[in-house]
Structure 1
Amino acid sequence: MRRITTVLLDVGGVLLLPSSEVMRAAIGHSGIDTTDEQLRRAHYAATAATDANGGPDRVEVYRRTFAKTCGVPAEFEDAVHDLLTDQFTGYTWQRVAPCAKEGLELLLAKGFRVGVVSNSVGTIEEMLATAEVCQVGGGPCAAVEVIIDSAVVGVRKPDPRIFHIALAEMGADAAETAYVGDTARADVDGARSAGLWPIHLDPYGDCPDPAGDHDHLDRFDRLCDLLTSRSGE
C-alpha cells in the first residue's frame, strides 16, 4: 500500500450522531428512558442491520432496529417507528460523535489532508458548523479542504463518482486516500469501488461482512495509528 496522505470522512456515525433529544423523545413514547450510550449503541446496530439487509427498505430497517435495540416492546414498535419517520430528518444529526473533534485534530496535527464526503439533503456543511466540528478553510473549528454533500453534487454513495468529486477538488490521488465511514454498503463498498482504502468505523463489532473483508476501527481517535501502521511508517 502506498503512503496515505489524504483522509475523507463520512459524517453520520463518524463525526455526528442523531440528536439525543429527537431520538429519546420518539423512543420515550413507549415508556422507555434511554441514555446517550444506549442511543449510540442503537445507531450502530441499526446501521449494521441495514448493511445486512441490503434492500430498498433500508430506512425502514434502520428505524425498526433502532427501536428494538433500545428495548421498545413490540406493541409500541409501529408508533415509535412513525415518530421516528416524522422527526428523524436531514437536520437531526446534531450530536457530536465520541472522539470526533479529537480525531480530527490528530489527523490535522499529523499532516493529513482531510475532507468530508456524506450522503445528505444539503445540510451537512451547516450541521458540522453548528456542532462546531469543522468547516472548509479558516474558522473556529477544524479546517477541512472540502465538504461534499450528495444533495449538492447530485450523486450519492456508494456511487464512486461522489468520491472522485472530492478527490478532484482537492487534487488528491485515490491510491493515497483513505475513507472512513460507518456502513459496509455505502461507505466501504463505495470507497473501494472508487479506488480508496475503506475503513469501517464499527465501535461494537456489528459489521455483517466476513472477517478480513475490510479494515475496521473501534475509535475514531485511533485512526492515525491505523493509517501510519498500514503505510509502513
Structure 2
Amino acid sequence: MTARRSLVRRAAAVAAAATAAVVLAACGGTGDSSAGHEGHDKATPSASASAKKGGHNAADVSFATGMIPHHRQAVQMAELVASRTRSAEVEKLAGEIKKAQDPEIKKLSGWLTSWGEQVPEEHGGMEHAGHSMGSMAGMMAPEEMDALEKASGKAFDTAFLKMMVKHHEGAVEMAKTEQAEGGYQPAKDMAGDIISSQSAEIARMNKLLGKG
C-alpha cells in the first residue's frame, strides 16, 4: 500500500513537472515572439526615418523651381557686364556671380529631374526673362532688362549694381524660406550658402554705390 502511494506521488510529481515545463516553454515562446515583434516595431521607425532622411517636400520643389530662373536671370545680367562696364570691381563681381550660379542651376535642375518634377524652361532673349515668374522676389521685369542691355559706362554700372542688389535680396528671401520649410538637406545647405554669399555681395555692391 505504501509502495503504491509512493508510485502515485511520483507519477503526480512527474506530471506536475511536465506541466510546468510546458507552461514555461509556452511563456518562453510568447516572450520570444513578443521580443521578435518588439524588434520589428523598433526597426520600423528606424527604417522609416532612413527612408525619410534626405527626402524632399513641396518647399524644396518650390525653392528649386523658383531659384533656377532667378539664377538664370542673374547670369544673363552678369554676361552683359564685360562689354558695357567701366569698373574692374563690377566686372570681377559679375564673374563671381556667374561662376557661383551656373553650377547651382545645374544642381537644382538635377534635383528636380530626380524628383520627377519639371525643370523650368529656359527662355531665349532678355524680353522674356521676367514674364514667366511674374513678380517673384527680386526678378527684373522685361523692360528693366531691356534698359540694362541698352546702357553703358557709368550709367550701366549704377543700374547693374542697383538691380543686382534687389535681385540678391530676393534670392536671400527665397533661401530663408527654404531653410525654414524645406526637408531636403542638400537644398537647405545650398540655401545657407546663398544667404551667406549673396548677403556679402549685397554689402560689396552697396559699397560700390556709395551706400556702404
Compare the two structures and name the one with the higher strand fraction. Answer: 1
- If asked which structure has higher relative contact order (CA below 8 Å, sep 6+), I would say 1
TM-score, structure 2 length as denominator? 0.28
Which structure dedicates a bigger proportion of its chain to helix? 2
